Structure 1
Amino acid sequence: MNQSEKRQSLIHELLKEAPEFQGLSVPSDSEGQKQLLRGLMNIRPPRKCSREFLEIQDSYLTAETAAKGITDFSELTPLKEALYLWQGDITTLRCDAIVNAANSGMTGCYVPNHRCIDNCIHSFAGVELRLACNELMKRQGHEELTGQSKITPAFNLPCKYVIHTVGPIVHGPLTSRDCELLASCYRSCLDLAAKQGLTSIAFCCISTGEFHFPNETAAEIAVETVENYLKENGYPIKVIFNVFKDEDFIIYKKLLTP
């Protein structure tokens, strides 16, 4: 099957799982089909699916990511010792682990085609990521606490693992507690990376955007926390600060330039 045939097969199977969408017309254009497929994956509850579905999904998603272009972290140049800055789509970065800014439910964003990083990561990792996260949450027995993290395989992403962390949601003026919890996210992720023996990790801008943490303050906390962690623990890990917007790139470059 080519990509179009794989995409239509996946849509057909997901529609069969959802009786409420029976009769829904499938767009004839590829972009419309991509949006529909992603939306159906986004709303799909965490449950197992057939081996055939996974084989087609994995082949399709791997090809889609390859078409976007994969960046290997080893090609990047550090701005400071062990600290890197990269502007791009974190789902196309090849490194040991990328960090996902998750919500406390930890099973991904269920809003169809939402532009948050949680949605993007789950969409390109595939449906197994939600199932893996759900199994972690069932064993834990409660939602994830703010400032804490969990690690899962990355499935169809070019990285090896995804570390999911719950950042603080800012309501009104920024508080010292918000700042403490954000710093805890970075430490928790690095603790998991060290425990797993990882040698590279890419952080997204945790808690900014949908969670309303001021970008500049968030960047200051991120860089300071990571630098202090590396000094105090002596763990030999390469840290990539991943940004998407130009304004965030400027902020981080200023903080990381000696």
Structure 2
Amino acid sequence: MQRLELIKKLNAFLLDEMPQYRQEAAQWEENLPAQRRLLRSLMNVRPPLPLSPAFVKLQDELLGAEREEKGVVDGAALPATGDPRIALWQGDITRLQVDAIVNAANSALLGCFVPCHGCIDNAIHSAAGLQLREECRQLMANQGHEEPTGGAKMTLGYNLPCRYVLHTVGPIITGELGERDCEALSSCYRSCLELADEKGLRSVAFCCISTGEFHFPPDRAAQIAVSTVREFLDAESTEMRVIFNVFKDSDKAVYRSLLGPNR
């Protein structure tokens, strides 16, 4: 099936479920980039609903092809920093082939509902597929309350090259940074590592938790991230490998100053 035809079929599935968007969708151009952006938008706004096997099959075909086109990055092959247990990599976290990547989630834990938003939560859910939102819905229904700051939950990775996703809710900074905020951020890293270790995972890639939409100062966040990870790895008898994933040049520079050059 041609890519544009596949995407249009997926859009038709979603518009049958959400007819309130038909009029707006009809205004989008018929070319591939526009229809693909429409699909991501519809996937982003779709509430957790039962998934049609026919939709899932087509969605997985598309997302699997896009995963291979972007290129899968083997986390085990990334060079270590001065600490052989830690690597630093700049790029798209949804390309990493590791046991788990970490998602900076919100307390609802259902992903970002803003169409094509630039946050990591949106990127991960968009690349994984709608099964991820459904599994998160089931987790939250069983939990019966919003996810607290500093904890961690684990789901499958679906169409991501990683096996699992660790979801954690970082602190939201609205004023002056406080000690409780720092302790909460440290708890995010520690909770993810503890859950990964409990589940027998051996490689975890962290995004920069709370430094985007949640406004945690990037320099201090990196210091907390590195010190918490080192403390955990020093204290536990684990062979886990940790990758700090950054997207911005400025974040890479901060982490490089903390971790030193590659070996």
**TM over 0.5: same fold?**
yes
Distance in 1, matches of 2:214 and 2:57, equals 35
Map of 1:165-204 to 2, 5 A cutoff? 165-204=168-207
Q: Which ranges of structure 1 fall in alignment gaps of 5 or more residues? A: none
Aligned residue type for 1:108: G
Deviation at 1:22, TM superposition (A): 2.4
How far does residue 171 in structure 1 lie from its aligned partner after superposition? 1.0
Alpha-carbon displacement from aligned partner over 1:121-167 (angstroms, at most 9, x marks no partner)? 00010000000001000000000000001000000000000000000
User: Which residue among 46, 49, 60 is the counterpart of 1:47?
Assistant: 49
Question: Match for 1:229: what amino acid?
Answer: F
* Number of corresponding residues: 258
In the alignment, what sits opposite 2:120? 117
Aligned to 1:228: 231
* Aligned equivalent of 2:17: 17
1:27 to 22, 29, 32: 29
Q: TM-score, normalised by structure 2?
A: 0.96
- With the length of structure 1 as denominator, give the TM-score of the two structures: 0.98
Q: What's 2:130 paired with?
A: 127
Structure 2 counterpart SS, 1:210: coil
- Per-residue deviation, residues 32-67 of structure 1 (Å, max 9, x unmatched): 111110000000011112111101000100111211
Q: Aligned residues: percent identity?
A: 53
SS in 1 for 2:112: coil
- State the one-letter code of the partner of 2:103: N
In the other structure, the counterpart of 1:67 is 69
Q: For each residue in 1:85-125, what CA deviation from the matched residue of structure 2 results, as whole angstroms up to 9, or x when unmatched?
A: 00000001100000000000000000011000000000010
Letter in 2 for 1:75: A
> How many Å separate the matches in 2 of 1:27 and 1:53?
22
Gaps of 5+ in 2: none
Q: What is aligned with 2:111? A: 108
CA distance in 2, matches of 1:109, 1:22: 21
Structure 1 residue 185: Cα displacement: 0.2
